[in-house]
Chain A
Amino acid sequence: MRRAVTAALAALVLAAPVANAWAGTTASPVKKKPKKKKKVVAVVPRTIQGPAVDMRWGPVQVTIVVKGKVLTDVQATAPTERSRSAFINNQAIPVLRQEALQAKSANIDLLSGATMTSEAFAQSLQAALTQAGI
């Protein structure tokens, strides 16, 4: 059981660099223009759900919150078992966020590796990001 938990954490940590790598690179170059009328447009956060993807201990689904072109939140749920999803959210998501920030510099689209479980989370996240258009 403990090993499975470790695997879960590792998978969550790994997922971040794959899908989030380009989240911070979409800003257009800064152009200095003379000030015109200020037009304030409120950016409404959007919530997008990735597909449920099977991991070793059951299906995992990733939900992201996107504000404009920026990924602002990541939640993971294991739909079939409430306690597990609570565990994933409470224990792993803070790590995931931290790793996502660290991974931005590597700027990768995909990850090649021998670990399949991590891919499940990564691919649910990737699909959600694709759907979000970022």
Chain B
Amino acid sequence: MHGTGRVEQIMGMPISIDVRDPHGDPGAVEAAFAWLRLVDATFSTYRDDSEISRLNRGELARADADPEVHEVLLRCEQLREETAGFFDAGAPIPGAVDPSGLVKGWSVDRAARILDAAGARNYHLNAGGDIRVRGCPETGRPWRVGIQHPLVRDRVAAVVEADDLAIATSGEYQRGHHIVNPHTGLPPSGVLSVTVVGPDLGTADAYATAAFAMGEAGPRWTARLRGYEALTVLADETVMTTGGFPRAADEGS
């Protein structure tokens, strides 16, 4: 099936949008990328002129920040509470905020809404391994998303089948991003990666980060999540999933 899509480097990672509708609107894909570029300009901690950088330097009052900045920082607070402090957008610099852990997923969710509003029904967005799928890649079958095996690079730990789902994975093999337990400052033990799936990518990503930071306690915590399912790869490569994790019946081998 021919699609309308491409890859762009935004927020320090390649982001792909691939619309598989027979008559996809290239304008919608462009609008979604324009939104993601705007998010990068507003939220990047690597850009001196972003709102987040200006907030952290005290040059911008929180009351004067963009409504989207408010929305994201508020959601970060909620997620910190929901995760018993294991997802923490304030760490590690006291007083400063770094909502990057939520911004990626949150902005992809919003980009998906731009595609939805333009009539797209079959597409994927992939932001550095955090994925949102809708519809199907070709007639008659759902999207199949492999979950990267954290140790064996050419293998998948599982395959997810979905027609409307967000999928986020956190692990210690992530480039330049070392997840620590915010309560101890130490990297978690006993777990290699956590994948969380559900309706919202920002939330799934935050839950995956939190569950990974919890270490061995993560799987039990994910079992209590409402509306979200999780797959954890333990240090001995054992794969644990919550009851409703949408694993494909046929995962190949």
A-facing residues in B102-154 (Cβ within 8 Å)? 124, 126, 128-131, 133, 137, 143-148, 150, 153-154
Q: Which chain A residues lie closer than 8 Å to B195 at the CB level?
A: 112
CA distance A113 to B160 in the complex (A): 13
Q: Which chain A residues lie closer than 8 Å to B7 at the CB level?
A: 50-51, 53, 123-124, 126-127
Given the interface contacts A113-B169, A130-B5, does A10 sit within 8 Å of B153 by beta carbon? Answer: yes
Determine, out of B9-17, B65-73, B82-90, B181-189, the stretch whose residues face the partner at the interface.
B9-17
A13, A21, A53, A107: the one contacting B153 at CB < 8 Å is A13
Residues A112 and B130 in contact, CB atoms below 8 Å apart: yes
B2: min CB distance to chain A, Å: 5
Residues B154 and A13 in contact, CB atoms below 8 Å apart: yes
B-facing residues in A25-70 (Cβ within 8 Å)? 50-51, 53-54, 56
Residues A112 and B251 in contact, CB atoms below 8 Å apart: no
Q: CB of B76 within 8 A of chain A?
A: no
B6, B129, B145: the one contacting A116 at CB < 8 Å is B129
Residues A115 and B174 in contact, CB atoms below 8 Å apart: yes
Q: CB of B23 within 8 A of chain A?
A: no
Residues B175 and A115 in contact, CB atoms below 8 Å apart: yes
Residues B5 and A114 in contact, CB atoms below 8 Å apart: no
B-facing residues in A78-134 (Cβ within 8 Å)? 99, 102-103, 105-120, 123-124, 126-127, 130, 133
CA distance A132 to B66 in the complex (A): 41
Nearest B residue (CB) for A116: B128
Give the residue among A18, A115, A118, A124 with the most B Cβ atoms within 10 A: A115
CA distance A99 to B18 in the complex (A): 24
Nearest B residue (CB) for A108: B146
CA distance A17 to B149 in the complex (A): 12
Residues A17 and B146 in contact, CB atoms below 8 Å apart: yes
DSSP majority for the A interface?
A: helix
Given the interface contacts A13-B154, A16-B154, A106-B146, does A115 sit within 8 Å of B13 by beta carbon? Answer: no
B143, B168, B170, B177: the one contacting A110 at CB < 8 Å is B143
- 24 A-B residue pairs with Cβ-Cβ distance under 8 Å, sorted by A, are A10-B153, A50-B7, A99-B154, A102-B154, A103-B154, A107-B159, A107-B252, A109-B145, A110-B144, A110-B146, A111-B146, A112-B130, A112-B148, A113-B148, A113-B150, A113-B169, A114-B177, A116-B13, A117-B175, A119-B14, A123-B16, A124-B7, A126-B16, A130-B18
Interface positions of A (Cβ within 8 A of B): 10, 13-14, 16-18, 21, 50-51, 53-54, 56, 99, 102-103, 105-120, 123-124, 126-127, 130, 133
In order of increasing CB-CB distance, the 6 nearest A-B pairs are A113-B148, A106-B252, A114-B174, A114-B171, A105-B252, A108-B146
